[in-house]
Structure 1
C-alpha cells in the first residue's frame, strides 16, 4: 500500500474516532460542572500533553538521526572497501587482482542481495561475511618485502577491519532497530489520553469541540505513523539506497 495513502487512512481513522467520542460526550454526557473543570482540566492537559510531546520529539529525533547515521555508515563501509583494494595494489599483482575481484563481488552482493533483504526485513545469507573473510585471507597470505609493502599490507588490514565494523553496524540498524514495546505503549496510550482530556473542557460549542479533538487526534496519529515508518532506515519513503556501493563499484573499475 502506498505510504501516503496508508498515512492518510491512519489520520482519518484517528480523527473520525476522536470526533465520534467528542460528539457522544457533548451530546449525551452531563454538562453540569464541566465549565468549572476548565482550570483543573487545563493544568492536567498541559502536563500530560507536554510530557507526551517530549517523548514523541525524542523518539522522532532519534529515528531521524539514525537515518543519517546509517547513510554515513554505508559510505564509510564503501570507502573502506575501496581503500582495502587500493592498499592491496602495492602488493603482488595476483593479490591485488584477487582483492579487487572479491571487493567488487562484495559490493554486488550488498546491492543485489542484502539491500532488498534489509528493505523487506528478511534474514541475509552469509555470502557477504564469507567474501570479506576471503579478502582478509588474501591479504594475510600475501608476501610483503620491505617497509613500504609491510605498511600497505597493515593499512589494508586496518581498513578491512573498518569494513567489518561498519557492516555489522549496518546489519544491526536494519534488523535490531525496532522501537521497544514499552515505548510503543507510552506513545499510543499517551496519545489516547491527550485526545480524551479535552472532552473534560466546557464552554465550546458541539461542532468546534468535535473539530478540535479530531484535529488533535489526526496530528498525533500522523506523528505515530512517522515513528512507525522511520524504524527501518532502509525501508519506506525515507529509505537509504545503496548509492555508496554503486560508487564503490565505479572506483574499483572493471575486473581485469
Structure 2
C-alpha cells in the first residue's frame, strides 16, 4: 500500500508538470523569450525557498509527532505489563480474573482500537473493558493492610493505563494546522508552473526536466501527508507494543 501511494504521488507530480509545460510553454512570451533574467531569478529562488521552507517544517513537525505517538503506544503497553505483574500478588481467584481482563483489553486494543484509530476514533468496547477492570479491582476487599497495599498498587497501575489511553485517543485526533497544507499545495503549484510561465519552451528535454521536478515535489507532498496521519495508511503505526505486551504476559505466566 505504501509503495502504491508513493508511486501515485510521483505520477501526479509528473502529470501536473507535463500538462503545465505543454499548455503554458507555448505562449507568445515563451516563444519570444522576452523576460528580465534578474527579476525572474529572484522570483524563482523565492518560490523554491518557500516550498522548501514549508515542506521542511511540515516533515520535521509530522515526523516528531509520529515518533511521539509511537512512543505513547509503548508507554501504555508497558503500563499494562506492569499491571499484569502486580495482579500476580493478589489471591488466586482475583489474580486470574484481573489477568484475564487485562489480556482481553490488550487484545481489544489490537483488534478493535487500531482499525478505529484509522478513522480518528477509539473502540468503545476496549473502553468498557478497561472501565470494568478498574471497577473490579476497586471492589476487591483485602483481608489486611498488606493486601490493601497490593490492591492499591494495582489500581494505580490501571489508572496509569487509563491516563495513557486518553493520551493515545488525543493523538488520534491531532493534526497540523490546515493552513500549512494549503501553503504547501500553493507553493508546489507555483514552483512547477513557474518555469513554463516565464518562458520555458515545451521541447522534450525541458519537459523531462520539469517532470523530474514535479516528481520530487509530489513525493515531498506524499511524505508530509503520510506522516500527518500516524494511525492511517500508508505509514500507520502498528500495534507492535501491545503484541509485545501479550508476549510478556505469557512469559510472566510461565
Q: Place the TM-score, normalised by the shorter chain, in its bin.
A: 0.7 to 0.9
- Residues 85-104 of structure 1 mapped to structure 2, 5 A cutoff: 85-104=84-103
Asked whether 1:209 is paired with 2:206, we answer yes
TM-score normalized by the length of structure 2:
0.85
Q: CA deviation at 1:34?
A: 4.5
Asked whether 1:223 is paired with 2:190, we answer no
- Residues 73-152 of structure 1 mapped to structure 2, 5 A cutoff: 73-119=72-118, 121=119, 123-144=121-142, 148-152=146-150
Per the alignment, residue 191 of structure 2 pairs with 194
CA–CA separation in structure 2 for the residues paired with 1:36 and 1:223: 30
Q: Which runs of 5+ in 1 are unaligned?
A: none
Q: CA deviation at 1:250?
A: 2.3
- Checking the alignment, whether the CA contact within 8 Å between 1:37 and 1:200 is kept in structure 2 is no
Query: Cα distance 1:250–1:13, how it changes in 2: closer, same or farther (>3 A)?
Result: closer
Q: SS of the counterpart of 2:158?
A: helix
Q: Which runs of 5+ in 2 are unaligned?
A: none
Q: CA deviation at 1:242?
A: 1.8
- Residues 1-256 of structure 1 mapped to structure 2, 5 A cutoff: 2-31=1-30, 34=33, 36-119=35-118, 121=119, 123-144=121-142, 148-174=146-172, 176-199=173-196, 201=198, 206-253=203-250
Aligned-residue CA RMSD (Å): 2.8
TM-score normalized by the length of structure 1:
0.84
Query: Cα distance 1:184–1:40, how it changes in 2: closer, same or farther (>3 A)?
Result: same
Q: CA deviation at 1:201?
A: 5.0
CA–CA separation in structure 1 for the residues paired with 2:200 and 2:6: 33
CA–CA separation in structure 1 for the residues paired with 2:13 and 2:194: 15
Q: CA deviation at 1:103?
A: 0.1
CA–CA separation in structure 1 for the residues paired with 2:30 and 2:55: 33
CA–CA separation in structure 2 for the residues paired with 1:151 and 1:63: 42
Query: Cα distance 1:135–1:205, how it changes in 2: closer, same or farther (>3 A)?
Result: closer
Q: CA deviation at 1:100?
A: 0.6
Count of residue pairs brought into register by the alignment: 253
